[in-house]
Amino acid sequence: MITRPKAAPAQSRSTDLGCSSAPIARITSDTHDRTAPRSDRGLRSVVGVELAIGKALATAAARATGGGAAKLAGIPGAAFTARWRNRKTRAALTRQTEASIGLDLPPETAHSLAEYLNSPDFESIALSLVTQVWASAGAKKQEQNFTATREKLEESIRLNVEADPELIDDIARAAWQALVEKSFENASKIAATQGESPLTRAALLKVSACHVASDAKSAKAFGNIDDLANFHNFESQMRDQVKNLHATMKLPHAGTTKKVPYSKLFVEPRLEFPVGQEQEKLLANVHLQDMLSTSHRTVILGDPGGGKSTLSLKLAYEIARTTAHATGAQVPLLFILRDHIEGFKANNLTLVEHLEGVCKKPYNVEPPQGAIEYVLQNGRAFVIFDGLDELTDTSLRRRVVEFVESFVYMYPDVPVLVTSRRVGYDEAPLDDSLFRTVNLAELQREQVRDYANKWFLLDETVEKGRRSELAKSFLQDSEFVADLRKNPLMLSLMCGIYASENYIPANRPDVYKKCAELLFEKWDKQRGIGIPLPFDAHVKHALNALALWMYSTPKAQHGLKREDLIQFVSKFLLEKRFDDEAEAENAATKFVDFCTGRAWVLTDVGSDINQGIYGFTHRTFLEYFAANQIVRQNSSARALFDLLAPKISAAEWDVVAQLSLQTLGNNVDDGADDFLQLAVDEVREGDSSSAARNIISFCGRSLSFAVPKPGIIRDICDKAVRISGTQRNSPSPRDVLALRDFAPLESVMRCSVENLPSVAKAIRESVLKLVEEEPDNARALCQCLFLWNIPGQAMGHSATLPAANAEVWQKLNRELFSQVRDNLSLHSEESYWASQLRVILGEISITETLRRFGVESLYGVDSNLTQPFVRPLVLSVPSLRSPYQSVSRSYEDPVILKRAAEEAGDYLLQLPTPWFSASAVLKDLAFAILRSAHVSCAQLEGKELEAVLLMLCPIGELIADEDTYGHGRTYGDIPTVISKWARARRDPDFTPGALATLRSLNLNSEVSEFIARWIRGDVTLVGADKN
Q: Hey, where are the domains in the chain? A: 10-225, 232-441, 443-505, 507-632, 634-816, 828-1023
Question: Quick one: pLDDT at residue 909?
Answer: 92
Question: Quick one: pLDDT at residue 870?
Answer: 60
| Burial group, residue 165, by CB count within 10 angstroms (0-12, 13-18, 19+) | exposed
How distant, in Å, are the alpha carbons of 924, 962, 964 from that of 921?
A: 9, 15, 18
Q: Model's pTM, two decimal places?
A: 0.68
Low pLDDT (below 50) residues in the chain: 1-51, 65-103, 138-143, 192-194, 254, 275-283, 523-524, 526-531, 535, 728-739, 793-798, 862-868, 881-888, 965-967
Q: Are 301 and 437 in contact (CB under 8 A)?
A: yes
Question: Quick one: pLDDT at residue 75?
Answer: 27
d(CA 933, CA 189): 18
User: What superfamily does domain 232-441 belong to in CATH?
Assistant: P-loop containing nucleotide triphosphate hydrolases (3.40.50.300)
Question: Quick one: pLDDT at residue 33?
Answer: 38
3-state helix, strand, coil in the chain (%, to 5): 60, 5, 30
Question: Quick one: pLDDT at residue 932?
Answer: 72
Q: If DSSP codes are grouped into helix, strand and coil, which group holds residue 34?
A: coil
d(CA 1022, CA 1024): 7
Question: Quick one: pLDDT at residue 283?
Answer: 41
Q: Are 379 and 120 in contact (CB under 8 A)?
A: yes
Question: Quick one: pLDDT at residue 939?
Answer: 81
Residue (of 810, 749, 760, 813) closest to 784 by Cα position: 813
Residue (of 962, 980, 967, 982) closest to 198 by Cα position: 962
Residue 57, Cα to own-chain centre: how many angstroms? 23
How distant, in Å, are the alpha carbons of 38, 87, 453, 914 from that of 501?
A: 78, 48, 18, 77
CB-side neighbour CA atoms (13 Å) of 931: 19
Question: Quick one: pLDDT at residue 669?
Answer: 92
Kindly provide the b/e burial profile for residues 495-520, where b requires at least 16 CB atoms within 10 angstroms of the residue's own CB. bbbbbbeeebbeebbbbbbbbbebbb
Long-range contacts of range 163-169, CB-CB < 8 Å, 24 or more positions apart?
163/105, 163/106, 163/109, 163/112, 163/113, 165/5, 167/42, 167/104, 167/105, 167/109, 169/13, 169/16, 169/39
d(CA 122, CA 811): 55
